Amino acid sequence: MTMILIGQFDSPFVRRVAIAMRLYGIDFEHRPWSTFGDADRIAAYNPLRRVPTLVLDSGEALLESAMILDYLDDRVGPERAMMARGGEARWKHHRICALATGLGDKAVSLLYERVLRRDRQLELWVERCTSQITGVLEMLERERAAVQTPYWYGERIGHADIAVACVLRFVGEAHPALFDARYPALKAHSERCEALPPFMEIVQPLEPPKG
């Protein structure tokens, strides 16, 4: 049986999982369900009604992109896994992934605030999300600029590279004023990844929820 990946590719979290699956050569059936419009269909597998949700051959469903990738890494084995198996290399890699996905969380929150609360946005929340997004972009920019290799941790693409690239695309589409010329190293990182076949294949222009 083929695994089922639920969620649209305009989500940076769904996209990072789908790209990793393509790079691992793991087939999946894609259900591009919307978190709002198709919430009931998602709920049949995941009561949180969130994506990505990965339905395994057994029928059990995994959620949270990091946990899904951990499962996939285990499936392909340590030689092919796109993250070190343990030690310092692993926690450092996790740290960049967490900064990227945290940035993604804040960019999604800010988008929901803008589209779902339109005329009654909470300024305090908008300002908080904006500073969190900017703070992480600045840190990632500094750290990426210091890396000499094609990818964050060497010659091979890793989960951190994919997470950062997927989140940057999302931030650029959802909040273009926040991802601008201040971040040349991140821009170059994004362009390098987006030029790879799985990134070009697995992509969807952002369609914000209508509420």
Ligand X SMILES: N[C@@H](CCC(=O)N[C@@H](CS)C(=O)NCC(=O)O)C(=O)O
Listed residue (102, 103, 78, 83) closest to 20, CA to CA:
83
Residue among 43 and 145 whose Cβ is closer to ligand X: 43
Neighbours of 138 (CB within 10 A): 13
Query: What tokens does 78 get?
Result: 């340590």
- The SS3 call for residue 178 is coil
Residue 11 makes contact with ligand X by CB under 6 A: yes
- Starting at the edge strand that comes first in sequence, how are the strands of the sheet with 3-6 ordered? 28-31, 3-6, 53-55, 61-63
Site string for ligand X, 27-66 (x = CB under 6 A): --------x-------------xxxx-----------xxx
Interface residue with ligand X among 3, 5, 54, 108 (CB under 6 A) is 108
Q: In whole angstroms, how close is the CB of 211 to ligand X at the nearest point?
A: 12
For residue 93, the minimal CB distance to ligand X (Å) is 16
- In 28-184, beta strands by DSSP E: 28-31, 53-55, 61-63
Structure tokens at 119: 């005329």
Closest to ligand X by CB, 50 vs 169, is 50
Binding mask 68-107 for ligand X (x = CB under 6 A): ---------------------------------x------
